Amino acid sequence: MAKRAAGSRSAQSSSVSRSNAEHYRWGNDCDGWHLVKDAQLSVIEEFLPPGAAEVRHHHRWAQQFFYVLSGEVMMEIEGQTTRVPAGSGIRVLPRKRHQIRNPSSDAASFLVISQPPSHGDRHND
């Protein structure tokens, strides 16, 4: 049987969802759920209410992919802003300053896939 990495879910396959994932709050009324959390990979589902935004930041080592499940977001990467609607995603490479925001009147839900995990590698600008 494979060894379990610190802070990871069981190495056995099992269904994971918001109802059984580790939950956290961030920013103003934003939510996140750790769907995969281990030393090599992080997959988080996040909820961004209307008008909310993350603080502009970068990661030295982690690359990230943001995939919008519902609603739409605006992603600013190194000064260039891109609209990302549901069913679309955008990649952020290491050391690139970025900020996600939801300027719409509808909530947005998206996946954040980070490799390696970005927690502990966040630097606010």
Q: Domains of the chain: which residue ranges?
A: 22-124
Q: Give me the pLDDT at residue 1, please.
A: 36
Q: What is the pLDDT of residues 38-49, one digit of tens each?
A: 999 999 999 999
22-124 is classed in which CATH architecture?
Sandwich (2.60)
On whether the CB atoms of residues 84 and 108 are closer than 8 A, the answer is no
Specify the pTM.
0.88
Q: What is the pLDDT of residues 67-102, one digit of tens each?
A: 999 999 999 999 999 999 999 999 999 999 999 999
Q: Average of pLDDT values for 107-121?
A: 95
The DSSP annotation for 35-67 comes to EEESSS-EEEEEEE-TT-BPPPEEESS-EEEEE
Q: Give me the pLDDT at residue 119, please.
A: 84
Q: Average of pLDDT values for 57-71?
A: 97
